[in-house]
Structure 1
Amino acid sequence: MSHDTLPRPVKTDAAPPAGPAGRRRRRRARRANPLAGLGSVIWLVVVIVPVYAMISASLTRQDEALGDNALKPPSRPTLANYDTVLHNGFGHYLWNTALVAAAVVAIVVVLCVPLAYVAVRTRGFWSGAAFRLFLLGVAIPAQAVVVPLYLMIAKLNLYDSLLAIILPTAAFAMPVSILILTGTLRDISEEVYEAMALDGASPTRMLFQLVVPLSKGGISTVVVYAALQAWNGLLFPLIFTQSEEPRVLTLGLFNYVSQFGVNIPALLASVVLSGIPIFAVYLVARRALVGGLMGVGGK
């Protein structure tokens, strides 16, 4: 038989189906979901419109800030409001807020990772009871204990200092952080722990060589959560500080509010500048953050 009469293979772009189950999965994957798309568009509009209005108002002159249409772009855009903010102590407030956020994140991560490790690896009654008791902090609002906290801060001579903001903020961020990290640690296979134990690994070695590398998603979630708690906190700075030296960004916004009125464009310009650093942190850790939140800190 000649080569011209041999049957030629037919090339296809799609792979052959792998049975009925595979065909059903592929049909479901190709099926459109218009309701989900509509919901995504609505949510995008809900988020984008206020952000646009805030940025647009921050570029507006003060005498035009109270116009009838908040979504109308400024007729004469100006950066004078940002110049006012930058020359009105914004750098000092930003530095204090960054210090508070970094300290809160460090305290939460250093304490919560070992605590979650002990809660997951210890099967005793007392460890479980202590874990459940610790999680009661999730149900206690900061407003309910602000007076006892004020007395404790005053007795410790920490009033009107950055430590008066850092310590309570870290304490109230820890219950949720431990809840996230315990979810992460429970996803680590028991066989991996047993293999390291057979190699003679101590609990401390397991913590640093096994738990921490496999818990990056949960740790990233905790870092972003604690940073947000510190960055956006208002109650503790308002109650536990008084002078200009320990003032943070949330209190710095009051510089544009007086008994005679509010400088709305400068206030919104300060809000825009305040949100840029934490937005940058989210962009860096967004994948790990989403992965951690999808599984309550899971992988």
Structure 2
Amino acid sequence: MRIRPNYVAGLAAVVWLLIIGVPLYALLNTALQPQSTYTDGGPVSLPSTVTFENFVTVVQSGFPLYLWNTFLVAVLTVAIVLILGIPISYAVVRGRGWLTRGVFRLFLLGLAIPSQAVIIPLFLVVNGLGLYDSLWGIVLPTAAFALPVSVLVLSGGMRDISVSLYEAMALDGAHPARILRELVIPLSRSSIATTCVFTALQAWNGFLFPLIMTQSDETKVVTLGLYNFVSEYEANVPALMAAVLMSAIPILVVYLFARRSLVMGLMGAGGK
């Protein structure tokens, strides 16, 4: 059969590529120009001078430390969410009692609570625990607010696993921990990948918790480190764009490796 080309879809794809590509080009173009000339030809014009001094300025400002702190926050947050979210989701899916249903409803209720509404009690709790101005003061609240969506995604993926597989392992004498380890986790890779990417993005782009829970340069993350290039009277825009580019590359790499599992998990096909 002869396949007829879909010109409308091709045109829409080109338009969408421009929508995504033009801002990225403007970001890279500005990051590679000197501060004195980056406004001469506009954000999408070809650069007259290419320099890497902006990246040197970013590195010398201590930005690699902020990247490292953000990486630690993201890794620890993802670890906590997976350690807590996978068993909770498994209990929600396999449990039949009122307690598991109540726990699931409690997590769904957490979706409706914005972090801005409880930031003062959170600050008092973190300060009372002695975690103020530490990375744990960012990790724990971020993980708490990532858990509701994570439980929702993970439980959706686990529900896609056939009940007969659960029953077959139970008949073979497998205890719940073994079923979770050998059946549920391998067949929930897509939903787990979705949870990892979502949680990592939330931790990487977090601004409110780092702003309120930290104050020293040693605990700064990238979202706060970007302010180093903006002062009261001026802004070093090329260096700022270079810092944004450096901060976006790690999470982009994570997305490239997990994009297929991420799409499958969001489509609700985590166990298929």
* Range of TM-score over shorter length: over 0.9
Equivalent residues of 1:257, 1:263 under 8 A apart: yes
- Map residues 4-153 of structure 1 onto 2, 5 A cutoff: 30=3, 32-67=5-40, 69-153=42-126
What residue identity is the alignment partner of 1:289?
A: L
When the two chains are superposed, the root-mean-square deviation of aligned CA atoms in Å is 1.5
Query: In the TM superposition, what is the alpha-carbon distance from 1:214 to its structure 2 partner?
Result: 0.5
Q: TM-score, normalised by structure 1?
A: 0.87
Partner of 1:161: 134
Q: Deviations over 1:217-243 (max 9, x none)?
A: 110111111111111111110111001
What residue identity is the alignment partner of 1:93?
A: Y
Equivalent residues of 1:61, 1:265 under 8 A apart: yes
Is 1:238 paired with 2:221?
Answer: no
Is 1:174 paired with 2:147?
Answer: yes
Q: Secondary structure at the match of 1:62?
A: coil
Runs of 5+ in structure 2 lacking a partner? Answer: none
Equivalent residues of 2:160, 2:270 under 8 A apart: no
What residue identity is the alignment partner of 1:242?
A: Q
Equivalent residues of 2:55, 2:242 under 8 A apart: yes
Query: In the TM superposition, what is the alpha-carbon distance from 1:89 to its structure 2 partner?
Result: 0.5
Q: Following the alignment from structure 1 to structure 2, what is the Cα–Cα distance between the partners of residues 255 and 212?
A: 43
Q: Deviations over 1:229-278 (max 9, x none)?
A: 11111111011100111111111101101112000000000000111111
Query: In the TM superposition, what is the alpha-carbon distance from 1:63 to its structure 2 partner?
Result: 1.0
Residue of structure 2 aligned with 1:200, choices 170, 173, 177: 173
Partner of 1:19: none
Equivalent residues of 1:180, 1:296 under 8 A apart: no
Using the TM superposition, name which of 275-284 and 261-270 deviates more. Answer: 275-284
- Map residues 249-288 of structure 1 onto 2, 5 A cutoff: 249-288=222-261
Q: TM-score, normalised by structure 2?
A: 0.96
What residue identity is the alignment partner of 1:171?
A: A
What residue identity is the alignment partner of 2:200?
A: A
Query: In the TM superposition, what is the alpha-carbon distance from 1:282 to its structure 2 partner?
Result: 1.1
Runs of 5+ in structure 1 lacking a partner? Answer: 1-25
Residue identity (%): 56
Query: In the TM superposition, what is the alpha-carbon distance from 1:296 to its structure 2 partner?
Result: 6.7
State the 4+ residue runs in structure 1 displaced beyond 6 angstroms.
none
| Aligned residue pairs, count | 272
Larger CA Rg, structure 1 vs 2: 1
